[in-house]
Amino acid sequence: MRTATIIALASAAMPALLNAQQWRTIESARQLTSTAETKVSLSFAGGKFELSPLPGNLLYQMQLHYDEQAADAVHRFEVTGRQLTLGMSQANMGWRALRAMNKEEGGSMTVGLNPSVPLDIDLELGGAQAEIELGGMHIRNLAMHVGLAGSRVNFSSPNQMAMDKLTMDVGLGGLELENVGNANVSEINISGGMDGISLDFGDRVMRDVKINADVAFGGLKIQIPASAGVTIQASTKLASFKPHGFTKVDGAWVTPNWKDATTHVTIVANTAVGGLQVDHSEP
């Protein structure tokens, strides 16, 4: 896991920083010439990160405020293969850049992506406080590698295409997802989460979804509307698990409406300290 690498760097001896910092702000954008599916890689070491839809005639727009002494900025689009790479060079994603970007005035990265373009998004945040709004976009796959700071992700309106996978590799900062039911996703994979992970599906679940979770510390909280049927296969350590309103059938916990519901959520979870909490009720 890439997030594990970031945490390992954080626990190692910190290298001395250069005394001088040289802050720079760059802006980058690209005209929208095609709505073909595009792969997007976003990397940011530390500070404040924002991602949101960008209506209009641009494929993307970015503003990056960073320390030139600790990082190299990247804004590159490869027409062949349609690969968009923004933020910081992967070589800069270690502890030195993370610490430098969080000092003094602090680093920041703001990105807008055109919601009409089908996207595969790979997001790596070293130690950024992130606010991410993905409502109304076309997202095929979303992978998030979150290191040492908390992040919040919201699907305020439905994803305009079926999402194959939503993958979360979470470190020390925890992660909150809101209105996950609007993600239109069939598979959610979760690992890590030492400060806890929260998934709130909101008031609906657009399609059947399976959640695979392996959470060691901090626990996993999932809020699912009563209209969806839910089944849970859980292995919990150091924590009891007796979900309210569920019945145990053949080793799994099942809601009474499982057979009659039009959409279903299947949870396969392995949790330790903090445990698993599932709330199946009206939001």
> Sign (positive/negative) of CA torsion 117, 119, 122, 125?
positive
**β-strands 73-78, 151-154: how paired?**
unpaired
Q: What is the pLDDT of residue 96?
A: 55
Q: What is the pLDDT of residue 150?
A: 76
Structure tokens at 159: 């994803």
3-state secondary structure 171-216: CCCCEEEECHHHHCEEEEEEEECCCCEEEECCCCCCCCEEEEEEEC
Cβ neighbours around 119 below 10 Å, total: 21
Query: Could you tell me which residue, 179 or 248, shows the higher pLDDT?
Result: 179
For 116-154, how does the pLDDT look when each residue is reduced to its tens digit (9 = 90+)?
Answer: 999 999 999 887 789 999 999 999 999 999 876 678 999
Q: Indicate the domain borders of the chain.
A: 1-14+21-184, 201-283
Q: Is the pLDDT of residue 100 over 80?
A: no
For 112-121, how does the pLDDT look when each residue is reduced to its tens digit (9 = 90+)?
Answer: 999 999 999 9
Q: What is the pLDDT of residue 36?
A: 97
